[in-house]
Structure 1
Amino acid sequence: MNTRIDSGTAALPYEMQARQDLVKGPQLERELRALRHSVGPVLPAVMPFGEGRAWVAVGHQEARQVFEDPRFGVAAHRGNNYPRMRHSEGHKEPFPISFIHMDGPEHVAKRRVLTRHLSVKRVLAMKPHTEQIVQDYIQEFESQGPGVDIVAHYSEQIPLAVISHLIGIPPDDKDYFLDAALDMMNGRVATEEEANKKIAEVSSYFGRLAKQKRDDPQDDLLSAIVTDAAAGKWTEEELEGAGFALLTAGHDATASILGGILYWLVHDPDLYAYLRDNRDKLPRAIEEFLRVIPAGTGTRVRIAYEDVEIGGVTVNKGDGIHPTVHPANFDERVYTDPLDLKIDRDETPHLRFGFGPHGCPGSQLARMELQVAISAIFDRFPRLWAIDPSDDWREEVLMRGPRSVLVAWDTDEARS
C-alpha cells in the first residue's frame, strides 16, 4: 500500500519559514530534495529569526551527525541572538534555562530524572491510564455525532491529558496550556513581545506548581524534579524551564503526528481497513507514519563549537546548523523509494525523535499514545471517513498537523 509524493526544485540560500504550522511537507521535501541532488546534503540557509550564518542538514547521515557530534551543541544558545526557527528557541529573559539548553555532563545529570520517569517500564505502567483517557475522549468525540472535528475533540486532547498526568498538572489546569503550547511550538506568535508574554505566563505557573509539589509531592515527574532540586541538583530557574519544555514538547509533536495519521486514514479507506484487521502491522506502520508525516521541519538549531567538515562543506565555529528531520527522513541514499508510504518498511530508523544525547526522552511514551489512540478508533469504528474529503489530501496531510478533520462513521451497533 503506497502513496506517492512528487519532487520539485528550489533556490539557495534556502529560506526557512517561521510559521511551522503553515509548512507543507511535500513542498518542503520537493525543494530540499532537489537541492540535496544538485548541491549536496548540507546547504546554506536563512533562518527567520536571529543573526549569523546558518546551514541546514538535509541528508540523513548529516542530520544524524549534527545530533550526535559533540562539536555541535545547544548550550551556546544561552542569551545569544543566534540564527533560529522560533523567537522562543534560545535561553534569554524571560525564558527560563532548561535541560534542553545544556550539553555534556551538565545535560546528562539533569536528564537522568527524566529517563527514570520515561523508561519502558514506566511507560508500560502508564498504559492503562492512557487507555482510560482515550476511552473518555472517544466517548465524548462520538457523542458529538457525525460531523465532529476529530482534531479538536481527539488528537489534540489526548497527548495534552497524558503529558499533564505525567508531569502532575491538575486536570482542571491542563486546558490553560493548549493554546500557549501550540502557539510557541508552531511559531504562531507574531512578535518577540508576544512570545515573551506567553513564556512568562507558563513559566510562572510551573513555579507555583513546583511549590505545591514541595508541600505535597506525588508520584509524578514534576515532584521527582522538585526532589532533585531540594537536593541541590536543580535550580529554581531550571525547575520552571523543565516544566515548560516538557509540556510543549510532550504535547504538540504527538498531537500533530496523531492528527496527521488520522487525517491520512480517513482519506484512505483501504489502508484503514487493512490496519484495523491486521493490528500486528500497526507498530511498524506507526514508524513509517513517523518517518513520512512531519512534526515541523526539524528540531533545535545547533551551534558549531569549532570548525566542522560535514557533507562537503565547512561549518565554521559559531555557525548555526539546523538538522531538518523531515527531508532527512526522505533521503534516497538511505530509503528505497523514499517518497512512498510503505507500512511494512524495514530500513534505517527515522529521525523523527532526533538522535544522540538530545534525542527525545519521551519517544516511547509517544509511540504508546499513538498505538493506544489509533487502536481505540479501530475498535470503535469499523469505518471512519472524512465528510468533505480533499482532492489534494496527499498534499495537505503532510502539513504540520491538520487544523481540522470533520468525520463520520459506522459503528458495530449501526451495522448490526
Structure 2
Amino acid sequence: MPRGCPFLPPGDYAGLRADSPVTRVVLPSGDTAWVISSYPLVRAFLADPRTTADRSHPAYPSILPKQPVSKAAAAGLLTWMDPPEHTVHRRMVVNEFTTKRVQAMAPRIKEITDECIDAILAATGEADLVQLLSLAVPSRVICELLGVPYADRALFDGLTIVILNHTSPAEDRMSAWRQLREYLSGLVTRKQHEPGEDLLSRLVKKYEDAGIFDLELLTGVANALLVAGHETTANMISLGTVFFLRNPDHLARFLADEDSRPQAVDELLRFFSIAEYSTSRVTTADIEIGGVVIPADSGVIALNSAANHDGSEFADAEKFDPHRDARRHMAFGYGIHQCLGQSLARLELQIVLATLFERIPSLTLAKPAEELPYKHNAAFYGIYEVPVTW
C-alpha cells in the first residue's frame, strides 16, 4: 500500500485496523498472506509459539518472488530460527548487548559522531548527510564492535543496498548475498586463527568452548549483526534529522532537555517504524486471533507499523508527541525475535541527533523534504540521500 505522506504509514492501514484487523491480502509477489494490523492482535500474535520464522518455508510471505535459499546460505541468521535452535544461539550473543555494555560505548560513539560531523563541515557548500553521517556513524560503530575492517565499508554497504532494494534483479540480490557471506566467512576464519578484542573473536571462542563451532553458522551470525547493526539505525538517523528540520519546535525541546531525549527517541522509533516486514511468520497450527481462524501453514505479516499507529494504544497516534511514553512500541519487534541491538540503536540515535544539531545549528535541507528519495522500494524504510547545507 502506498504512503500518502513520507512521514506516516500508508493511510489504508487505518482502514484495515478499523474494519478488518485480521484479513487476507495478495502481495506484489502474487503470494497470498494474512495481515494483522491492530496493536493488541499484533502483540498477541508475535508472542504465540505456534508460528515459525523460517523463511525457507513455502508459505513464508514474500513481497518479492521467492528465490531458493540453501540451508548453508541461511545458517546462523537468528531471525530465521525457531526454538530450541534460536534459544541456544541468541543466548550466545545477547550478553554482548546488555544495557551496561552499550552505555560503556557512549564516549566512543560520541567521538565517531564528532569525527563524521568534522567531515561534513569540511565539505564545501553542500553535503550528503546519509553518506557522511547517517551511514558512517553506525557503520563505524558496528565495525569496531564486531572487528570488521572499516576500510571494507564500501563493500558491505554496497552489497547491503542491493540485497535490501526490492527493485534489484533477483540474480543481483543473490550474487550480493553470496559475496557478503564469502567476505564474512573469511573474516570469521581470520578471527579463529588471529583473535582480537572484538565481539566476533569472543563469539568464535564461545562457540569453540561449547563444542558447537560451525563456520557457516558464525558467518550467518556475523551477517545478521553487521547488516542489522548499521542499516536500520542509518535510516532512523536520516528520518529523524529531516523530521526535526521540518519541526523546529520539537528540535528545540529535544536539545533543551537532555533527560527527555530517550523518550523522544522512542517516540521517533514508534512514529516511523521502519521495519515493517521483519515480523512476518508462518503458522504451525490453526490460530484464532481477533475472532478469525488463521489456518496452519499460512503466511502472516504482523504489521508493526500499523500497530504502532493504533489509537487504542497510542492516543493521537498520527502525531509526534515527545511527552508520550512510547516504550511499548514494536519498532524492534516483539517476542523471542525482538531486536538484540535495540539499546545500541537508541543510544546512537540520542548521541548523533543531539550532537549534529548542537554543532551545526544552522543545518538546512538543500532541497524540499517532499523531493527527497525515500526508500519506498526497500526492506527498511528510509532515505537514500539527504543533501544539506549550513
TM-score after normalising by structure 2: 0.91
Distance 1:48 1:275 in 2: 39
Structure 1 position 396, deviation (Å): 6.6
Q: Is 1:45 the counterpart of 2:29 in the alignment?
A: no
Q: Is 1:92 the counterpart of 2:70 in the alignment?
A: yes
Counterpart residue number, 2:361: 382
CA gap 1:133/1:353 in 2 versus in 1, 3 angstroms: same
Partner deviation per Cα, 1:49-76 (whole Å, 9 max, x = no partner): 475x41111111121122221111213x
Distance 2:288 2:387 in 1: 48
SS in 2 for 1:83: coil
Q: Is the 8 A contact 1:266 1:386 kept in 2?
A: yes
Q: Is the 8 A contact 1:96 1:203 kept in 2?
A: no
Counterpart residue number, 2:200: 222
Task: Report which stretch shifted further, 353-362 or 140-149.
Answer: 140-149
CA gap 1:326/1:186 in 2 versus in 1, 3 angstroms: farther
Task: Report which stretch shifted further, 236-245 or 91-100.
Answer: 91-100
Structure 1 position 406, deviation (Å): 2.1
Partner deviation per Cα, 1:360-389 (whole Å, 9 max, x = no partner): 000000001111111211321233222333
Q: CA RMSD in A?
A: 2.6
The residue type paired with residue 15 of structure 2 is A
Q: Is 1:305 the counterpart of 2:272 in the alignment?
A: no
SS in 2 for 1:383: coil
Counterpart residue number, 1:118: 97
CA gap 1:347/1:94 in 2 versus in 1, 3 angstroms: closer
Counterpart residue number, 1:361: 340
The residue type paired with residue 211 of structure 1 is T
CA gap 1:122/1:102 in 2 versus in 1, 3 angstroms: same
Q: Is 1:36 the counterpart of 2:14 in the alignment?
A: no
Structure 1 position 145, deviation (Å): 3.5
Q: Aligned runs of 1:120-159 on 2, under 5 Å?
A: 120-159=99-138
SS in 2 for 1:309: strand
The residue type paired with residue 405 of structure 1 is V
The residue type paired with residue 196 of structure 2 is Q
Structure 1: tracts of 5 or more residues without a match: 1-15, 410-416
Q: Is the 8 A contact 2:46 2:279 kept in 1?
A: no
SS in 1 for 2:35: strand
Q: Aligned runs of 1:14-413 on 2, under 5 Å?
A: 28-39=9-20, 41-49=21-29, 51=31, 53-75=32-54, 77-78=55-56, 80=58, 82-85=60-63, 91-92=69-70, 95-98=73-76, 99-191=78-170, 193-231=171-209, 232-346=211-325, 349-390=328-369, 400-409=381-390
CA gap 1:73/1:96 in 2 versus in 1, 3 angstroms: closer
Q: Is the 8 A contact 2:266 2:326 kept in 1?
A: no
Structure 1 position 307, deviation (Å): 0.3
CA gap 1:212/1:359 in 2 versus in 1, 3 angstroms: same
Q: Is the 8 A contact 2:281 2:299 kept in 1?
A: yes
CA gap 1:334/1:55 in 2 versus in 1, 3 angstroms: same
Distance 2:160 2:65 in 1: 14
Partner deviation per Cα, 1:98-139 (whole Å, 9 max, x = no partner): 222211221111011211111112111222221111111110
Q: Is the 8 A contact 1:301 1:320 kept in 2?
A: yes
TM-score after normalising by structure 1: 0.85
SS in 2 for 1:360: coil
Q: Is the 8 A contact 1:135 1:376 kept in 2?
A: yes
The residue type paired with residue 34 of structure 2 is W
Distance 2:255 2:17 in 1: 37
Distance 1:69 1:280 in 2: 36
- Alignment length, in residue pairs? 385
Distance 1:89 1:341 in 2: 39
Distance 2:63 2:374 in 1: 22
